[in-house]
Amino acid sequence: MAQVPAVEYETTIFTLQPDNIGPNKATLLHARTKNNNSNFYKAILYIHGFIDYYFHDHVCMRFLEKGYDFYALDLRKCGRSIISPEHDQYKHYCNDLREYDEEITLAIEHITKEATTQHRKILLFGHSTGGLIATLYASSGSRNADIDAVILNSPYLSIVESTAIESALLTVLRKLKISQDVDAGWYGRSIHVSDRGEWNFDLNKIPIDTVRLHGSFFSAVHRVHQDLIKGRIKMKCPVLLMCSNRSMHAEKQWCDEYGETDIVVNVKAMRCAATMISSQVTIYEIENAKHDIFLSKQSVREKAFGLMFRWLRYLEEDCIGDGAVDESIDLTYTNDDIRLCTIQRTIPQQKIGVCYHYFVPQQFHYIKLAEASSPSLARRAGLKSFDRIIFLNGVNIENATSADILFRFDTARHLPVQILVCSPATYEHYKTNQKQFRLDLPSIQHVKPVFATSTSDFDTDAPSVSIDNESFYAVRWENSNIVSTVSQSVVFKSPQYTHLNDICCIETAGQYKNGQIILKGSRHDCEKLKTPYFASKIGNVFGTFSKFFIRKTPNGSDVTNAQSDTIQTDLTIQHTHDNNTSRHHANALQHIQDRTCTTLEELPIELFYYIFTFIDIQHLYKAFGELNSRLNHILQSYKNFSLIFDNKVDPLLMNLYAPYVARLIIRTSIHCDFKQFSNLHELVLCIENSQQFAQIQPNVIPNLTRLSFLLGSAFTLPQELTWDIFSNQFPSLRHVSFGCINVSLRDSWTTSPSLQFVSILSCKPMCIPAILTACPNLQHLQVNILYNDHNDLITSSSPLNHPLRRLTLWSDYAELTFDAIDNILSYTLNIESFYLQTIYSTSLIDLAHSLVRRLHYLSRFDCYITENVTKNDRFNNLTDLHQIHPCFHRVQSIEENDKFRVLATK
């Protein structure tokens, strides 16, 4: 078994929004480094995989040694965040992977509060499914701008290794959204100490024999995979992907190769998918690694640690102390020494020979030249060690972070590198005299651009470069549609490394400009592309092509105009012999016109309705809108569309489909006029915005049936809106979810007979009878008691026989006393199902007797109770509890010591 030193963690519990299963929470562990730097804070947030939890103390130790604070998040319904044994069957259950946005955002907010320094670096570390979740969050999460880099350990970016039968089972589970117990396979057994591994983890949290797969989870994963394939998931930060060098499907019989390969995810497909998630992905293949790289044998994981921290060194600020800059530098100013240096690589991954540094005390960026026996590109371009960096590719970076610079540098590797630098003395002079650096300063020296003559990282001056004065390029200038013809000799890139579509630095009229190579050939050939007529014709091809909806009958004949709304326009493409690109466009267009395809008209309307349930309406209209009359009719006849209103919504397009939206999710503070959604039945608000709240009125949304505020427990609903909800102003409203409500006007509430479900994240016991009185037909009440004044007991004239059938009470921080619980139950005598989660200072057996006496219809009891009773004072035989009533048979002790024990239902 692997020997790992003990790590001390601080634990934070996040109370999350409940879902259709019940309440949720997430658990954040935090280990503090002793090697931290007072001027710079580094933190890593670890996200575990599928049916998994965090137990990687050895990984934590390595990051602590490197000066990182280490955080690990047990996601909802996983590991330490499983609320009760009953929820064991829902491990990693979710309906949408974006649900995890809530706990990850809370964790990042917690980390940023811990960062007491101005400069910080936060990294996401995701394994397997956690890697997919981390990728999604870094792409579009609420606080993704705070993520400086992402490390992916065998991320679930692609299909799993499976047989045809297993693949078919997953497809059925996904489409029907059902659950199924299946054999866990060899992977868990290959890593646990009880079988063939060296790691001792909790088998209740990670079962290695049988696991329950939930179709809703795989449906959520499938949707994210589709978004990834379509290029909708992009990370802007640097990404490191680490995986095994091979994968294979595990058979029923054990094979020693399973311990040295990935038997979970298809590695080849994973690497392919990785190229689509970011423009700056580094992939390390680790020979003989398992699915979790850092649970492989010691020699393998040591290699992985070495590669990972080598990559991290490239991202870290190398110089952060007072002595970081050479103190012998002469700061005596004589005149401006400002240089605009331009470098052209031969290949994007080529290094130019500089290291970027940041000096924290005075907050400036500077460079050091890499030591080499031969001149580097940077040295040839006129850069010097300790030059201060002012502009990078035309953008002032004086106030940028090091991560910003690396991002700008890495995302522009295919472009010429243009750096405006100045000497230390010039920088000191400008800052002392409060002078501004500008790109149009007359004192700037425009150093002649240099280009690499080989693919070496430390490019040497080539003896000679062959220049052919008879060869020309057609160039489209940067930020312009103007096309010019230039000689090969004025292009600052070696001819043998210059290709079509390359962007190069070019000398023209004594200046240096960037341009894209669109043709290589003779002057005569290139001159033909200068005419605006040709450019306009190419544009017409794309414009007409995008409007085509070409259909053919099964026998290949054209569909008549009576069957199609599309009028096919004749195209004339002139000068196609002049350019390979135009010939390619014409051939592609002709191929589509000639092909035979299945018509959309043949698909039944029920299938369209099924497809529509998975796709946001704005994407549906972009895909199917205005294609033909039948599709238009189908779109207009379906009345249950969903719309996520965010910064990407096209307001003009929304005018077309707004009347058909039934479910609206608001994720931005941009104004949204609710009146245009005449069919709206469900509203979910994820952003606190007074203008949006003001529109939640019966005359604006008369058919509202579900209303949810996903704004956390601290959010208090406006008083007027609270009155409307509990006074039947929304006569169709069935389901409401709040953070906290203001009950100061409760005596003026009338009744809302339509309400059947109410969920409140922050509630006093005294509010409960007011809610019951206002909702005479309520079926399920779910409340989180965040605070409880023992003197704040219920005193109300509320009815004592409410028909409520389900009650969920939980409190993670305040104790629900016997009197408080009994007082609440006195108003809900018809309860059939009761869930209780709290700290409890007396014996549970006394409460059980009271529940049986009070609730005559009780048939199901679930709990997660921390019983703060010493071992000598509590009843130790749970049989006495089980004999009180059959609903207590499932109560078990899952954790105990001399001071307390945790009782929960399995």
Q: What is the pLDDT of residues 21-73, one digit of tens each?
A: 889 999 999 999 988 776 678 999 999 999 899 999 999 999 999 999 999 99
Please, are residues 1 and 200 in contact by the beta-carbon 8 Å criterion? yes
Helices (runs of H) and strands (runs of E) counted in the chain: 24, 34
Percent of the chain with pLDDT over 90: 29
Mean pLDDT across 736-753: 81
* Amino acid making up residue 850: S
- Of residues 393 and 577, more confidence is placed in 393
pLDDT at 594 over 80: no
pLDDT at 469 over 50: yes
Q: How many angstroms separate the most distant Cα atoms in the chain?
A: 101
Radius of gyration of the chain (CA): 33
Instruction: Say whether 886 sits in a helix, a strand or coil.
Output: helix
Q: Which of 494, 499, 497, 531 is nearest to 517 (CA)?
A: 499
Average pLDDT of the chain to the nearest whole number: 80
pLDDT at 170 over 70: no
pLDDT at 380 over 70: yes
Percent of the chain with pLDDT over 70: 79
pLDDT at 567 over 70: no
Q: What is the pLDDT of residues 664-706, one digit of tens each?
A: 999 888 888 898 898 899 999 988 888 888 899 988 999 999 9
Token pair for 48: 């575990």
Q: What is the pLDDT of residues 232-249, one digit of tens each?
A: 898 988 889 999 988 888
Those residues whose C-beta lies under 8 Å from the C-beta of residue 352, and which sit 6 or more positions away, are 343, 345, 376, 377, 378, 381, 417
Those residues whose C-beta lies under 8 Å from the C-beta of residue 748, and which sit 6 or more positions away, are 723, 727
pLDDT at 167 over 60: no
| DSSP output for 864-885 | EEEE---TTTS---THHHHTT-
CA distance 766 to 666: 32
Q: How confident is the model at residue 597 (pLDDT cuts 50, 70, 90)?
A: very low
| Confidence (pLDDT) at 581 | 42
Which of 256-260, 361-365, 561-565 has the weakest average pLDDT?
561-565
pLDDT at 511 over 60: yes
Those residues whose C-beta lies under 8 Å from the C-beta of residue 351, and which sit 6 or more positions away, are 370, 457, 458
| Confidence (pLDDT) at 32 | 94
Q: Between the CA atoms of 100, 105, 106 and 108, what dihedral angle is there, to the nearest 10 degrees? A: 130
Q: Which of 379, 359, 360 is nearest to 371 (CA)?
A: 379
CA distance 257 to 271: 21
pLDDT at 568 over 70: no
- CA angle 408/237/324 to nearest 5° reads 65
Q: Which of 682, 733, 740, 691 is nearest to 711 (CA)?
A: 740
Distances (CA, A) of 340 to 120, 270, 331, 436, 682: 30, 41, 21, 16, 57
Distances (CA, A) of 5 to 10, 54, 57, 225, 732: 16, 15, 8, 38, 59
List the domains of the chain with CATH numbers: 10-318 (3.40.50.1820), 338-482 (2.30.42.10), 514-523+615-683 (no CATH)
**How many CB atoms are located within 10 Å of the residue 718 CB?**
14
Q: Which of 680, 650, 678 is nearest to 664 (CA)?
A: 680
Token pair for 738: 């709040």
Those residues whose C-beta lies under 8 Å from the C-beta of residue 296, and which sit 6 or more positions away, are 260, 286, 288, 289, 290, 304
Q: Which of 804, 850, 849 is nearest to 831 (CA)?
A: 804
| Confidence (pLDDT) at 464 | 45
CA distance 842 to 828: 23
* Amino acid making up residue 386: F
Which of 166-170, 260-264, 664-668 has the weakest average pLDDT?
166-170
CA distance 137 to 796: 46
Q: What is the pLDDT of residues 854-877, one digit of tens each?
A: 898 899 999 989 888 888 888 878
Which contiguous run of DSSP H or E holds residue 516? strand 511-521
- Of residues 162 and 364, more confidence is placed in 364
* Amino acid making up residue 861: F
Which contiguous run of DSSP H or E holds residue 810? strand 806-815
CA distance 704 to 696: 9
pLDDT at 508 over 60: yes
Token pair for 235: 């990370």
- CA angle 702/705/709 to nearest 5° reads 105
Distances (CA, A) of 829 to 278, 595, 751, 780, 834: 57, 70, 20, 13, 11
| Confidence (pLDDT) at 119 | 73
Q: How confident is the model at residue 437 (pLDDT cuts 50, 70, 90)?
A: very high
Q: Which of 223, 80, 20, 106 is nearest to 713 (CA)?
A: 106
Q: How confident is the model at residue 735 (pLDDT cuts 50, 70, 90)?
A: very high
Q: Between the CA atoms of 152, 154, 155 and 158, what dihedral angle is there, to the nearest 10 degrees? A: 140
Chain-centre distance of CA 758, in angstroms?
Answer: 30
Distances (CA, A) of 424 to 93, 385, 431, 433, 481: 57, 10, 11, 14, 40
